[in-house]
Each structure stands twice: as C-alpha cells, then as structure tokens.
Amino acid sequence: MPKAQETVLEIDLKALKHNFDHLKSRLHSNTKFMAVVKAFAYGSDACNIANYLQNLPVNYFAVAFVHEGISLRKAGITKPILVLHPQAANFNILIENCLEPSIYNAKILKEFIAIASAEKQSDYPIHIKFNTGLNRLGFSEQDVDTVISQVKSTSSVKITSVFSHLAASEDLNERDFTINQIETFKRITENITKQIGYKPLLHLCNTSGILNYPEAHFDMVRSGIGLYGFGNSEKENKNFKPIGTLKTIISQIHAIEKGQSVGYNRAFKTDAFLRTATLPIGHADGIGRQYGKGKGYVIINNQRAYILGNVCMDMIMVDVTSIDCNEGDEVIVFGPHATAENLALTANTISYELITGISQRVKRLFLQ
C-alpha cells in the first residue's frame, strides 16, 4: 500500500471480495444475497462499492433512504434496490428510479398504493416489513389480514418480499429471544403465503444472523457490516478483513514543557516534558470529540500514540514522546490490524458509528 501524504481512506477491494466470498460460503447455493450499502456503504463509498459488488453474485442492494438509491442508479447500478426507510414525500421519484420500497405501516402502504395507482403502475414490487421484536419499524403479526386485504384490493403493487430484522443475533446469550423472533417470522410468512397464493422472497438475517442462525437464512440474507470486515465477535472477526484503512500524516511536532497545555480549553496539561504530533484530521472528518483526553489512539511506526486534549474540528494532537517519528511520517488511525472496532471501544462505542462517520471530505483511494 502506498504511504500516505495526506488524510486518506484506503478501500481494499480484494478484502471486500474476501468478505463476500466468506459470507456466501455460509449459505446454501440457492440463497440470495442482499448487499447493504446504506450510509455511503458504511462510510466507504456506496457507488464504487456497489459497482464492484454488482459484478459478483449479489442479487439485491439495500439503502436506507431514497436519495441513496437514486445515487446508485445514476452510478450505473441496474440490480434491484430496496429502500429500507422511504418517506411518502419521495414515492414519485422512487418509482421514477425503479427503487423498491419497504412498506412498514398502514399509512405508508395506503400512500404508496395511491401514488402507484396514480402513476398507472401494475404489480410494482413492494417489500412488507414486520416487527418481530426489534420494535423499530414494521407491521405487527396482527396486521397480516389488513395488509393482505389492502394489497389484494389493487393491481398497482405486488408483494416481492416479506422481511423482518433480528434484534440481538450477535449475542448468543439472547438466543431464546432470537429463536422466538424466527418462529414469529415463520408464522407470519406462512399466513401471508397462504393468503396471497404465492411465495414471496423471505429474508430475516443480518450479518450476525448469517453467521449464527443458518436455519433462518430463508430465501435471502442481508449483510452490511460483514462486507466491510467485521463479524461482530472475536471468533468471527478472524474470518473477515476490514476493507478500510484510515491514514493521515504528522503535520508538526511540538516540544511541550512541564505545566503547558495542549489544545482547546487547555483540556490537557502536562506534568512533565513531552512531544506531541499534530495530525490533519478532526471531528469534521469523523473523529468525534468523545475521543481525546486519553481515549483513543493512532499508530505511528507501529506504536500507539494516544490522543491528547480535545479533538479539534480539523486536527488532533497525539503523544509521541516515546516514538521515533518525524514530520511527514504516515499515521494509521484504523485499519486491518489496529481496527476501527478497537478504536471505537476506547470511547465506549462501536465500529459502525466510527466507520460510517468518516466525512466525505476525506479522500477515498481504491486498491484493486
């Protein structure tokens, strides 16, 4: 990999393929694969990631919001795209771009049918979301008859899939809860299939569901975090390769005398001589203010350099007193070895929040 000369997020496409291949190896050959590329493909670059995955045996893409799906269409993505959280204000443009909505309550179903009918659509694909325990979005089991009644009353839409979302599939201490979700989903989908007279695609498993509950793979699975290199457990992480390496450089090194302070609000005061390095990356780039004051570190010449004081908008300062380094040297914020998961843990958060928060002003470099 090239040495950094500025702040850059390197994306390793070989690692992406490794992760995809591993996830596919855990599935039956006829199980479809939905790649989740919402949130700028978990902070990497949705259009580039989706274009790469489109040439692999990916069957569907998933985004959170309509504008994310439109960006993929403009980038040349032709495979089906599920919008997980559409709003009625965007239904016309959703149809215009051949995106497929998740329908999660009676209001959204009614509004989408009205717009699809006005647009003279026939059998427009919709995905019905049921709540089986996450209590976030979705119809309840008691809503099945109402949903089917509304769908049967029109020719403008057709149920392409029925799905739900596991709440704790990564936590084996919650296995009983997850099994109950699976059984609830089975009841719901058996009832729906019986009433509509055909079998839509069924999907329930996220990345941890893929890894821990093979009996719940159904017709399709959805993976987000696994594609980007995290298996949600120490055991499974060994099978994945983080695709992103966030690098920066040392802009300046300071000699700080005893009693002096570093950064805004004098948040760090030294009780002994030390050397600090200033790096051109800050909370506007995704390194939040929960880091700093001893929480969080970067890697310089294979050694940890802890963040001092408050994270600034465009800079952080780190302790390099015991590190042999110079201005211009490369700095690893996170990567395959010093992982985003480990850095996130220092601030009591998770890899998802860290990697999805990397600002789009940070240059992306794709490694083939």
Domain boundary among the residues 228, 253, 288 is at 228
Residue 220 and residue 254 in one domain: no
Q: How many CB atoms lie within 10 A of CB 87?
A: 13
Cβ contact 190:29 at 8 Å: no
Half-sphere exposure (Cβ direction) of 144: Cα atoms closer than 13 Å = 18
Question: Residue 161 has which token pair?
Answer: 């899939």
How much is the pLDDT for 176? Answer: 98
d(CA 109, CA 164): 16
Within a domain: 5: no
Residue 217 and residue 255 in one domain: no
Single-letter amino acid code for the residue at 79: K
Within a domain: 69: yes
Q: Which residues are tagged catalytic?
A: 38, 264
Angle at 197 between CA 108 and CA 158, to 5 degrees: 30
CATH code for the domain of 340: 2.40.37.10
What residue has token string 């993976």? 223
d(CA 113, CA 97): 17
Residue 219 and residue 278 in one domain: no
Half-sphere exposure (Cβ direction) of 217: Cα atoms closer than 13 Å = 18
Residue 101's closest CA among 75, 64, 76, 74? 64
Residue 179 and residue 299 in one domain: no
Full-model pTM: 0.96
**pLDDT digits 0-9 by tens, 64-77:** 999 999 999 999 99
Domain extent, residue 283, equals 244-367
Cβ contact 205:32 at 8 Å: no
Within a domain: 8: no
* Sequential DSSP letters for 77-99: --S-EEESS--GGGHHHHHHTT-
Phi, psi of 305 (to 5 degrees): -120, 110
How much is the pLDDT for 293? Answer: 85
Residue 185 and residue 268 in one domain: no
Residue 181 and residue 256 in one domain: no
Residue 65 and residue 127 in one domain: yes
Residue 190 and residue 41 in one domain: yes
Cβ contact 160:200 at 8 Å: yes
Question: Residue 30 has which token pair?
Answer: 């006829």
Within a domain: 356: yes
Within a domain: 234: no
* Sequential DSSP letters for 279-305: ES--TTTT--TTSBTTB-EEEETTEEE
Question: Residue 192 has which token pair?
Answer: 């729906």
Domain boundary among the residues 186, 204, 228 is at 228
CATH code for the domain of 50: 3.20.20.10
Residue 299 and residue 342 in one domain: yes
Strand ranges (E), 224-319: 244-249, 252-256, 261-262, 268-269, 274-279, 297-300, 303-308, 316-319
The CA distances from residue 23 to 19, 28, 214, in Å, are 6, 11, 11
Within a domain: 305: yes
Residue 221 and residue 292 in one domain: no
Within a domain: 239: no
Question: Residue 166 has which token pair?
Answer: 């596991």
Domain boundary among the residues 201, 228, 255 is at 228
Question: At a CB cut-off of 8 Å and minimum separation 6, what does 120 contact?
Answer: none
Residue 183 and residue 62 in one domain: yes
> Structural domain tally of the chain?
2
How much is the pLDDT for 15? Answer: 98
Residue 210 and residue 75 in one domain: yes
Within a domain: 233: no
Residues of the chain with pLDDT under 50: none
